Structure formats: structure tokens, C-alpha cells
A and B are shown apart, each in its own frame.
Chain A
């Protein structure tokens, strides 16, 4: 399977715990995105990497959230001291930058439930 993969697919945690998610993009894609999606909403942008550089973070991303993409390959998203409001689907997408458009290919997502 050469698509975007994410791990784990589901995570249940207690409030206050730290969680880390992993995303493996399509190998030749240089852009990687993290989104959060809650019920009834479209994906909300969290952060973006071009190769290994994190070029933008949404103001939605509090200090408890951090993302890395070492060596420009896979990426991790960590949430520290989780809160119930963090419960959502966390989607990763990758793309190959083009002038006209940015067709992003999504992974299956990690569904986080904070109890």
C-alpha cells in the first residue's frame, strides 16, 4: 500500500495523559499536513511541513500540541495533558507541491477519545 498511513487508528486516553500519533506520507510527497476533524465539520488545518521544516501552525494549536517531521519523512503529532475537548479525528495528508493546486491525499485518521 503506497498511500498515507497513520498509527494508531484509535486511541482512548484519560484526561491529562500525553498521546503521540504517527503519519507516514506518500514517499515522494514533500508536503505534510495535520488536520483535526470533529463531528459535522470539515477538516480544520493544524500545521504544515514542507520537507522537514514546519512552516505554519494554526492558532488552534495550543502549546500542548507539537509536531515534528524529522528528515522530511514521517511526522509525529504529540498532545500533552490531553483535555476532553481534544477528542476528535486527527487526519494527516500529504501532497506534492504544484503551482495550480495542492491535491492532498489523506490517511485513514487517528480517532482520539479523551475520557
Chain B
């Protein structure tokens, strides 16, 4: 069965720290890996990764995919309290279904 596993499940850091969130997957087919940020309501799209080794960046957030290790990391540098959220990793194997991990709950203390 296809699955996506994220670690850690939760994380508490202080403002200014750098954090690394992990995502590993086992799927029969792979097209892309996606990261979403979920605050109080709906997930909002962060990145889509399709190729190994190519870093995607947006401000203080960056992500990279390792297809050999079947994993991805999401880095957040100089964290702010506004980064507090659940970060969801999802894999799109093609077709219609996207498989989500349980998420990493990040809490950034002021």
C-alpha cells in the first residue's frame, strides 16, 4: 500500500532557529512530491518537486527531493512565530490520487 511518512510528528523551536522536516514515501509510481502548510484551516501549497537534487526556494523555505532515498526535506531558516503550522507532505503517483502524510506540527516560540 502506498504511504507517506513524516517526521518528527511535532517540533517546538525558538524564533530564529533553523528546522528540517522530513518526508519519506513508498509508492508504486511516482510523479511528484508536494509540500503544503496548514494553519487553522485549509492546506496552502508550498512546493512541487519532481526531480532529484534540485532545490526549490521561497524566501526562508526550501525543499529538495532525493528519489534514490525516496525522501524529501523541507528547511525553514530563521523561523518566525508565523511559521507555526502543520506541514504536510504529499506524493502524487499519477492518476487521481494524492497520498498525504500525517504532517509535522511545528510550534515556534517567541
Give A contacts to B, CB under 8 Å.
4, 31, 33, 35, 40-45, 48, 50, 55-56, 91, 99-109
Contacts and interface: CB of A to CB of B under 8 A. Distances in A.
A10 to B, nearest CB: 11
A108 B41 contact: yes
B100 A42 contact: yes
Interface stretch (B14-22, B72-80, B89-97): B89-97
A94 to B, nearest CB: 12
A102 B92 CA distance: 7
Range class of the B interface residue count: 20 to 34
A42 to B, nearest CB: 3
B42 A100 contact: no
Interface string B53-75: 00000000000000000000000
A42 B96 contact: no
Contact of B102 (A40, A100, A104): A40
A104 B97 CA distance: 11
